[in-house]
Structure 1
Amino acid sequence: MSNAFDRHRRLRRTPAMRDLVRETHLNKEDLIYPLFVLEESGQRNEVSSMPGVYQVSLDRLTEEMKEIKALGIQAVLLFGLPKEKDEVGTQAYDNEGVIQQATRLIKQEYPEILVVADTCLCEYTSHGHCGVIHDGYVDNDASLPLHVQTAVSQAQAGADIIAPSNMMDGFVKEIREGLDEAGFENIPIMSYAVKYASAFYGPFREAADSTPQFGDRKTYQMDPANRIEALREADTDVEEGADFLIVKPALSYLDIVREVKDRYTLPVVAYNVSGEYSLIKAAAQNGWVDEKAIVMEKITSMKRAGADLIITYFAKDIAQWLSES
């Protein structure tokens, strides 16, 4: 007697069968681990809102990188916490700035690990904004030369990838031209092409000491309600020479990740941001969720949505879990 329905469960019957037909796979090579680097000596400070994430001083960076290497993580994203800040973020483009020093150290000790340098001013400005302030407003065009200087100094220090996160108009074009003129035409740009003004960034601002001292970033980061605008932003960055496209945040914007992936042939990067990390950590510490299960489901959803790479504070945990599976 024939059945009048399909037997989809045949392919879910055993773990081996489910593994055989799995469509989306997560690999260590997909992960980029963010690092917060301090200039002060002897520091490894846990971020209170991000359990398991640390601000690490330059003199302790080697031990951190040793662990990252052992876990099989192949790329790190560097954020710097300078000793001094000023109105124009001078330490961001100082050749002896904290990111420049960290980059040289990593490339000397672990040349096989890719260094992605965050290219922005917010961690270095006394006001916490991503550019120069004129009359209480972030001046787009006056800020661009400083971002170019920052990118060039990072490339000179040995950064493998420049990742500008400032969301200034024209930032990819100006940085691409600046890198090319300085002889770094082979250094790719991982653009924060689609970056929303999100409430999920709160814990990061503690980790990076980058909270705006007045106002917010809504005049340059995107409105979370907008979809078509995201494609306009990505269109511009592709035209201006971006080599990767970041969508940030990831979890609440998986529809945007998929649209960007479907529209372009460049690698798409999902940024699993600090608030997404902290929510799961807090729930796990309270025993409300299975941390490993929920993290792997979440990160897999980003891959399924179209992300080729994922920036995540869970990278070390995920790498360990993948090794154990």
Structure 2
Amino acid sequence: MEFPITRMRRMRKNPQIRNILRETRLTQENFIYPMFVKEELKAGKIEAISTMPGQNRYSLEDAVNAAKTLEEKGLKSILLFGLPDKKDDIGSSAYDSRGIVQQAVTRLKDETDLVVMTDVCLCQYTQHGHCGIVENGEILNDETLEHLALTAVSHAEAGADVVAPSDMMDGRVEAIREMLDLNGFDDTIILSYAAKYASAFYAPFRDAACSAPSFGDRKTYQMDPANAVEALREAELDLMEGADILMVKPALAYLDIIKAIKEEFKVPTAAYNVSGEYSMLKAGIDAGYLTEDAIFESLLSIKRAGADLIISHFAPDFLEMF
């Protein structure tokens, strides 16, 4: 069947036809909004993040109020990052039952119907800024696992629906699953940062979360951007260890990885539309080089690649478009 019998433009001739034939659709349920909660901030003292226009660090009270406002606009899920008052070499404030994330989780579960997810990592809580315990300049894998598991349990005790380990230590999903189950949290979901790349696109986030490493880099535990097969191995191992949802981070530069993981494992798959991707598009729009349509198009590409869930700083923008 060739032209002139087959005319593909028939299916594009007006908005109504295009809408009913659209293959990929974004919905409110697809989005998870990442929020930064800073312990030392008092109510009403919101800090703008200079490297991420439109994004803020919130006090506990303001974070809850902002989440409520977004829920009224249709937001369904939130991912919390904590900025503690105190840091030490082992990130002990990450699993403090009165920590800022734990307090935020409890408030949000009491006052909203949002699905509350928490980042499980040590980088924001350690003086050195690495995601694991450090000894003689080396990031120790196995010694870190207990601290991550304690953090996940403390989040579950506070009421978190989903814990999301982002550290990329080997075996952390198994350690977290075992500790959750031993403490009666067998229903708590693990959303694993399964394929987290050592990416240049994280720079604005490190400013936002005050989590840049004080020495070296994270290339011994985050993935090499050149590797794709390795991502499948990482994802498979996390599933074997008990992950319920797999995540790829970043998103836009790794659409092939999202597609490969979704097709290979056919499990719920998330993608993190990270800070650098956000700031890059925002800068282009502010400069007049792009229109805001680029936001929707970029988010659509992540969904089209296979992501069921999209963690994105653009979530409020999408809610305004919806």
TM interval, shorter chain, is over 0.9
Equivalent in the alignment of 2:186? 185
TM-aligned CA deviation for residue 68 of structure 1:
1.3
Mapping 1:193-204, distance limit 5 Å? 193-204=194-205
Distance 1:88 1:62 in 2: 28
Equivalent in the alignment of 2:284? 283
| Residue 302 (1) aligns with residue 302 (2) | yes
TM-aligned CA deviation for residue 104 of structure 1:
0.7
Seq. identity, %: 52
Aligned-pair RMSD on alpha carbons? 1.0
Distance 1:128 1:102 in 2: 22
What secondary structure is seen at the aligned counterpart in 2 of 1:86?
Answer: coil
TM-aligned CA deviation for residue 265 of structure 1:
2.3
Distance 2:244 2:190 in 1: 5
Distance 1:65 1:17 in 2: 36
Equivalent in the alignment of 2:142? 141
Distance 1:28 1:142 in 2: 39
| Residues 107-160 of structure 1: per-residue CA shift (max 9 Å, x gap) | 1111x1111010000000000000100110100000000000000000000000
Equivalent in the alignment of 2:26? 26
Distance 2:209 2:105 in 1: 17
What secondary structure is seen at the aligned counterpart in 2 of 1:76?
Answer: strand
Distance 2:241 2:260 in 1: 19
Equivalent in the alignment of 1:55? 57
Residue identity opposite 1:221 in structure 2: Q
Mapping 1:186-265, distance limit 5 Å? 186-265=187-266
Q: Tell me if structure 1 keeps the 8 A contact 2:129–2:211.
A: yes
Equivalent in the alignment of 2:103? 101
Residue identity opposite 1:16 in structure 2: Q
Q: Which runs of 5+ in 2 are unaligned?
A: none
Residue identity opposite 1:18 in structure 2: R
TM-score if structure 2 supplies the norm length?
A: 0.97
Q: Tell me if structure 1 keeps the 8 A contact 2:284–2:290.
A: yes
| Residue 74 (1) aligns with residue 76 (2) | yes
What secondary structure is seen at the aligned counterpart in 1 of 2:164?
Answer: strand
Figure out how many residues of one structure are paired with residues of the other and give that number: 319
Q: Tell me if structure 1 keeps the 8 A contact 2:35–2:63.
A: no
Equivalent in the alignment of 2:317? 317
What secondary structure is seen at the aligned counterpart in 2 of 1:189?
Answer: strand
Q: Which runs of 5+ in 1 are unaligned?
A: none
Equivalent in the alignment of 1:16? 16
TM-aligned CA deviation for residue 209 of structure 1:
0.5
What secondary structure is seen at the aligned counterpart in 1 of 2:33?
Answer: strand
TM-aligned CA deviation for residue 3 of structure 1:
4.7
Equivalent in the alignment of 1:154? 155
Residue identity opposite 1:227 in structure 2: A
What secondary structure is seen at the aligned counterpart in 1 of 2:301?
Answer: helix
TM-aligned CA deviation for residue 66 of structure 1:
2.0
TM-score if structure 1 supplies the norm length?
A: 0.97
| Residues 203-256 of structure 1: per-residue CA shift (max 9 Å, x gap) | 000110000000000000000000000000001001111000000000000000
Kindly report structure 1 stretches of 4+ aligned residues shifted beyond 3 Å: 2-5
Residue identity opposite 1:154 in structure 2: H
Cα distance 1:216–1:9, how it changes in 2: closer, same or farther (>3 A)? same
| Residues 30-80 of structure 1: per-residue CA shift (max 9 Å, x gap) | 000000001121321110010110000012223212211111101000000
Distance 1:11 1:4 in 2: 14
Cα distance 1:134–1:27, how it changes in 2: closer, same or farther (>3 A)? same
1:45 counterpart (44, 47, 69) = 47
What secondary structure is seen at the aligned counterpart in 2 of 1:220?
Answer: coil
Residue identity opposite 1:296 in structure 2: F
